[in-house]
Amino acid sequence: MKKYLSTLLAVCLVLAAFSMPASALEYTFDSPPTGDFGTPTSTEDIIQTGAEPANKDRSKSSALIPPGFGTPTSYLPNSGEYLTPNLAADGPLSGNYTLTVTGGTGGGAPALPGAVDTSAPTSPAYPTTSGPVTAFTDVTADLYYRNGSLGTLEIPSIGLSVNIYQGTDSAALKKGAGHFTNTSIWNGNVALAGHNRGVNNHFGKIHTLDTGNTITLTTALGTRTYTVTSVAKVDVMDNTMLEATSDNCITLFTCVMNQPSYRWCVRAVEA
């Protein structure tokens, strides 16, 4: 028994010699390396003039909705309607505008006098380099007939009577004569287009017209009779006959058969 206790004591002493004290572990944290940012190289000094910018009001209260593309006033400065008319200091721009060009060569600057009384709409003038003042009547909703047309074109000498529709796309020309949307519908130059062959070849004979033949235009604004003054073959890229005029006239266009680079152009003036 004594020998057993001696052995047990020796084992306990050996174990005590190899035991390690319990303590908390230590941790070391290093900060990440600094970012690889470029070094500023500009040495330009900032100059403070103290002057106020020319356009101080950049808020939505001064924003304008631009006019429709191709309309007579689409290129005029300060034209259009306010985006928020209730916030506009000077009130909304509304009604029609009359545009005049100073100088006999059309080189003067257009003048926009401002809004006019909307209870009596007027036709805005449409300037070109051909004269000091031109006439123009825009297409409005009240000018359409119930069948969707803008009026009727009649040429007795070739037996033509056809309805007029807005636009010169295939949908309009399929129904009748098409009205060039950037031209007048009453005062000034009224420009129309039509097919020259096929089922809807309404303008197939306009190149056979002679000077002095009559053309009648009927719209919601009335009826006008024109006298043919010229029949010509023009280049397909020549759009001078689409320009607005100071006198009342009508211009008809159609393709030239088998000559895609040209088209027939008939001009008639008010009789």
Q: Which domains does the chain have, with CATH numbers?
A: 60-134 (no CATH), 141-270 (2.40.260.10)
Per-residue pLDDT at 10: 78
Model confidence band, residue 26 (pLDDT cutoffs 50, 70, 90)? confident
CA-closest candidate to residue 98, choices 132, 136, 65: 136
Q: What percent of the chain has pLDDT over 70?
A: 59
Q: How far apart are CA 44 and CA 214, in angstroms?
A: 74
Q: What is the pTM of this model?
A: 0.53
Q: How confident is the model at residue 109 (pLDDT cuts 50, 70, 90)?
A: very low
Per-chain mean pLDDT for the chain: 77
- For residues 245 and 183, what is the distance between their CA atoms, to the nearest angstrom? 10
Token digits of residue 122: 């007027």
What separation in angstroms does the CA of 188 have from each of 12, 88, 269? 123, 35, 10
Looking at the chain, the number of H-run helices and the number of E-run strands are 2, 12
Does residue 262 contact residue 253 with C-beta atoms inside 8 Å?
A: no
